[in-house]
Amino acid sequence: MTSPPPRARHILTYAEDLRGGGVERAQLRLVRGWLAAGRRVTLAIEDLAGPLAVELPDGLEIVSPSRLLALPNVVRRLAPDVIFCPGNFYTGIAAWTRLRLGRDCPPIVAKMSNAPARADHGRLMHAAHQIWLARHGSFLDHLVAMTPATADEAARATHMVGRTSVIPNPPTVRIPGAVPDLPARYILGVGRLEPQKRWDRLIAALPSLADQSIPAVILGEGDERGAIESQIRALGLGDRVRLLGHSTDPLPIMARAQVVVLTSDYEGVPGVLREALSVGTPVISTESSSAVAEIIDRPDRGTIVARDDPAALIAALDSWLAPTAPRPEPVPQPGADSAARYLALFDQLVRR
């Protein structure tokens, strides 16, 4: 009797904390799918505190090393079949694990969560980052990007042509909960309060809008809250900007917004744009990633503006806030089969 082919029965993934980043949120959605498919999944995490703790799926095994630098020891002890690195921020740990374990390291699959070229990098930092990306093929077995354009960029930057796949993030799922009391009309921003997101651009645009009564609501938490609150006070916008913190389920709030705005310096594949379009809300985004044009692929769905063009941002906001502005038809989110596609990739690597 022929024995079944080997497969990735045990998947190990890792994260720093559960404070609410898009990378970790997508990671937990994938984990839920892998568990539902009957695989064993272990999450190595430094800190279990944070808003995403409520999204930890049943059946997930958790280990808590004091630091992720101890991940090689965790791998030695648990002997997983494959390691999943959930985003660019975590590839340093993947490199360290490969260095420590050498030939005993199981296959490592990483997801490219940010653009290879970042707008916040100066010339020297950009050069150093490109050198770092070019080394990824020496410690990663396979790379996953979320759209064809970002996959092409990632494959070239990492020298992993032929070892790169396109698998979108799983779609956002509805999580029942209370929806905050909101104005009848509002502009919505969704994302962590971090320098990358550049919420100062949205806030600075408010005094110049044709509609001087419409407020901006921002969902997210982070280290930039103090700086953002200072800007709000300096511009006298205390009655027009609401910082609501992390939202477990932003979809109902997106559905009621006039427009969803993303003002980032850089992104990977911004899920917030897909989420907004899935509930029929138009979007405005800076050209923060090659994936933005893949998502906002028609003018009736949204507007793309240059990162440092405040006049273009104001014009786009005025256009979508006009009483006659139509709302787009809902666009279904891709990725319903993403967890299964990852498993097929993992199994293929294990069989090799």
Helical pair 71-78 and 91-101, crossing angle rounded to 10 deg:
60
Local confidence band at 249 (pLDDT 50, 70, 90 cut-offs): confident
Cα–Cα distance for residue pair 289/222, rounded to 1 Å: 22
Cα–Cα distance for residue pair 230/224, rounded to 1 Å: 10
Q: b or e along 135-156 (b: 16 or more beta carbons within 10 Å of the residue's beta carbon)?
A: ebbebbbbbbbbbebbbebbbe
Find tokens 């005094």 and name the residue: 207
Cα–Cα distance for residue pair 292/270, rounded to 1 Å: 7
Q: CA dist 243 to 205, 259, 283, Å? A: 16, 17, 19
Q: What is the CATH architecture assignment of 187-321?
A: 3-Layer(aba) Sandwich (3.40)
Average pLDDT over residues 217-227: 95
Digit-coded pLDDT (tens) for 54-81:
889 999 999 998 899 999 999 999 999 9
330 close to 278: Cβ distance less than 8 angstroms = yes
Predicted pLDDT at 1: 56
Local confidence band at 209 (pLDDT 50, 70, 90 cut-offs): very high
Give yes or no on whether 10-171+335-351 and 187-321 have one common fold: yes
Predicted pLDDT at 177: 66
84 forms bridges with which residues in the sheet? 13, 109
Digit-coded pLDDT (tens) for 124-158:
999 999 999 999 999 999 999 999 999 999 999 99
Predicted pLDDT at 51: 86
Predicted pLDDT at 3: 66
Predicted pLDDT at 2: 62
Tell me 137's DSSP state. G
Predicted pLDDT at 67: 92
Look at residue 21 and tell me whether its pLDDT is greater than 90. no
Digit-coded pLDDT (tens) for 87-113:
999 999 999 999 999 999 999 999 998
155 close to 136: Cβ distance less than 8 angstroms = no
Predicted pLDDT at 175: 73
Q: b or e along 92-117 (b: 16 or more beta carbons within 10 Å of the residue's beta carbon)?
A: ebbbbbbeebeeebbbbbbbbbbbbe
Q: Which CATH class is domain 10-171+335-351?
A: alpha beta
11 forms bridges with which residues in the sheet? 41, 82
Cα–Cα distance for residue pair 255/61, rounded to 1 Å: 35
Mean pLDDT of the chain: 94
Cα–Cα distance for residue pair 95/71, rounded to 1 Å: 11
Specify the pairing of strand 187-190 against strand 259-262.
Answer: parallel
| pTM of the predicted protein model | 0.90
Predicted pLDDT at 20: 75
Predicted pLDDT at 178: 65
Q: What is the CA radius of gyration of the chain?
A: 21
Q: Which amino acid is at 61?
A: E
Look at residue 173 and tell me whether its pLDDT is greater than 80. no
129 close to 122: Cβ distance less than 8 angstroms = no
Domain coordinates of the chain in residue numbers? 10-171+335-351, 187-321
Digit-coded pLDDT (tens) for 250-308:
999 999 999 999 999 999 899 999 999 999 999 999 999 999 999 999 999 999 999 99
Look at residue 170 and tell me whether its pLDDT is greater than 80. yes
Cα–Cα distance for residue pair 26/173, rounded to 1 Å: 11
Predicted pLDDT at 68: 95
